[in-house]
A and B are shown apart, each in its own frame.
Chain A
Amino acid sequence: MTSLNFEAIFQSKIDDEVKIEPKDWMPDAYRKTLIRQISQHAHSEIVGMLPEGNWITRAPSLRRKLILLAKVQDEAGHGLYLYSAAETLGADRDDLVQQLLTGKAKYSSIFNYPTLNWADIGAIGWLVDGAAIMNQVMLTRTSYGPYARAMVRICKEESFHQRQGYELMMAMAFGSSEQKAMAQDALNRWWWPALMMFGPHDAESTHSDQAIKWKIKRKSNDELRQSFVDVTVPQAEYLGLTLPDPDLHWNEERGHYDFGKIDWDEFWKVVKGNGPCNRQRIQARIKAYEDGAWVREAAMAHAEKKEQRKLQPEAAVKAA
């Protein structure tokens, strides 16, 4: 069979909503696209722990601290599910990590913004996780089986992330005037970066067409962004907060909210490494990787020693 036939069979499976599994034939470009996308998604979960980790020791109550810890733990877990899904495609875990540390692989730009006040933790849960969920719910139906299944698990766990964020925003927005001002300040800073999370407009998006044909993505960047705006505006109104966009208004004819122009110069500046915290984030990951090296080595050495003991109990005792 020629590779053309393979490709036709592959595409017909996708068209018939049959999941592609690790041992199935797939075009190299499909495999490469998925490794890139899944590993970037994994990196985003891992780097995403940093802005929130900043507030664990400063959470205003034990309850809030436990919640934040649980959320950051979940993000570590989600990173691990995703790295494993990438490994089913033949990617090597350490290569992927190196790509993050050397800056060869990207992660979601949103995590290059700082968390300046406590309400940022609420805004992240509500808006950043809200935007991520919009994308991830779509990905539960992605064509690659292991990725789709990881997404199902992640979405189930993620729902608390958004709710705790909104609950925190309610506490702040309905609190003292200072608290409300903090909530508004956080919203002002996170709103536009959250909209940028969906990526460039469809007309400028380089990977979109093929990704939709292969059903890796099932909705375009602009469609997802619009859905996010539509569900989020009433949530902001309930809080009595103002979205920082004078052009935002309901368009009766379209049945959607119109919103202002996104500052793509800022988006590209952050993607290219010049956001407020890019260097800090990567330095934190490099430090964690280097500081953990002795633990990884010691665990392997210990495992080998235990194995040796099992094979020759007496010799091992003598050697010790």
Chain B
Amino acid sequence: MKKEWPLWEIFIRSKSGLNHKHVGSLHASDAEMALENARDLYTRRNEGVSIWVVESKHITASDPDDSDPLFEPARDKVYRHPTFYTVPDEISHM
């Protein structure tokens, strides 16, 4: 049986100090090749200073169809936002 190269998810840090962000995926036989391929595929124009590769099978994603109930608990909690509170205009630094 033909064995296919596994899929890898690629995360790039675009600039020192920022988070790695997911940019896409690619196939590679192992982690080292995934890193090299990611460099060639996703950073041809200096898009990054650091790369993370994670085999796709290790990522557990939430179900988009479930996103309503999943995120519903935060929806009605307006008091978690600073704009919910009235602080007079005279008061600064708050």
Chain A residues lying within 8 Å of B5, measured Cβ to Cβ, are none
Instruction: Categorize the interface residue count of chain B.
Output: 20 to 34
Asked whether B86 is an interface residue with its Cβ less than 8 Å from the other chain, the reply is: yes
Q: Judge whether B64 is part of the interface by a CB distance below 8 angstroms.
A: no
The contact string, 1 if C-beta is below 8 Å from chain A, for chain B 16-56, is: 11110000000000000000000000000000001000000
Assess the A167–B91 pair: CB atoms within 8 A: no
Question: Which of B19, B50, B86, B90 interacts with A167 by CB under 8 Å?
Answer: B86
B13, B77, B80 — most chain A CB neighbours (10 Å): B80
C-beta contact mask, A145-157 vs B, less than 8 Å → 1, else 0? 1001100000001
Query: Residues of A contacting B18 with CB < 8 Å?
Result: 149
Whether B82 is near chain A, meaning CB under 8 Å from some CB there, is yes
Say yes or no for B71: interface residue by CB 8 A criterion.
no
Is B93 located at the chain interface by the 8 A CB criterion? Answer: yes
Closest approach, in angstroms, between the C-beta of A258 and any C-beta of chain B?
Answer: 19
Name the CB-closest residue of B to A148. Answer: B17
B94 contacts chain A at the CB level, 8 A cutoff: yes
Total number of A residues with any Cβ neighbor in B under 8 Å: 25
Give chain A residues whose Cβ lies under 8 Å from the Cβ of B93. Answer: 231, 235
Q: Which of A83-101 contact B (CB under 8 A)?
A: none
Residue of B nearest to A160 (CB): B82
A238 within 8 A of B: yes
Residues of A within 8 A of B17 (CB): 18-19, 145, 148-149
Question: Do the beta carbons of B16 and A149 come within 8 Å of each other?
Answer: no
Is there an interface contact between A167 and B80, defined as CB atoms closer than 8 Å? no
Given contacts A149-B19, A159-B82, A167-B85, contact A235 B77 (CB under 8 A): no
16 A-B pairs besides A160-B79, A167-B87 with CB distance below 8 A are A18-B16, A21-B50, A63-B79, A148-B17, A149-B19, A159-B94, A160-B82, A163-B82, A164-B79, A164-B84, A164-B85, A166-B87, A166-B91, A167-B86, A231-B92, A234-B91
> Could you list 21 A-B pairs, sorted by A, with CB under 8 Å?
A19-B17, A21-B16, A21-B50, A63-B79, A66-B77, A67-B79, A70-B80, A145-B16, A149-B17, A157-B80, A159-B82, A160-B82, A160-B84, A163-B94, A164-B85, A166-B87, A167-B85, A167-B86, A170-B88, A235-B93, A235-B94
Listed in ascending order, the chain A residues whose CB lies under 8 Å from chain B are: 18-19, 21, 63, 66-67, 70, 74, 130, 145, 148-149, 157, 159-160, 162-164, 166-167, 170, 231, 234-235, 238
Give 9 nearest A-B pairs by CB, closest first: A19-B17, A163-B85, A231-B93, A159-B82, A160-B82, A167-B85, A18-B16, A67-B79, A70-B80
